[in-house]
Amino acid sequence: KLKRDDATASISTRRVSVREKLLLTEVAELEANSPWTCKVHFPDPNKLRCFQLIVTPDEGYYEGGNFQFETEVPDANNMVPSKRTFSRINPSSN
């Protein structure tokens, strides 16, 4: 899903680390295994370590709400836990 245009590709020719490849694989699995009410979003496509998971429940008490989980994966992601924040966006009238 993350694509770079030709101009960006020619400017940035750095090698992708093993950790970045693993992170991309894990995010792809998250997208593939999530229900349609969950979307992964990268606010800045150049920062693969910072992404958002937006959850919009379609049933139950939280139906109609939009919930955003921001995740920042540190460089040493195997040794240090990720930083996560939660916010409710566009609250429903419930």
pLDDT at residue number 38:
92
pLDDT at residue number 3:
52
- Distance (Å, whole) CA 41 – CA 72: 13
- CA 17, 20, 26: angle at the middle one, nearest 5? 145
Q: Could you give the maximum distance between any two Cα atoms of the chain, in Å?
A: 50
Tens of pLDDT, residue by residue, the chain (94 residues): 455 554 444 445 556 678 778 888 888 898 899 899 999 988 988 888 888 999 999 999 989 889 999 988 887 766 777 888 888 886 544 4
CA separation, residue 31 to residues 12, 41, 60, 76, 85 (Å): 26, 10, 23, 23, 19
pTM: 0.65
pLDDT at residue number 70:
92
pLDDT at residue number 87:
83
pLDDT at residue number 11:
42
Count CB-CB contacts under 10 A for residue 34: 13
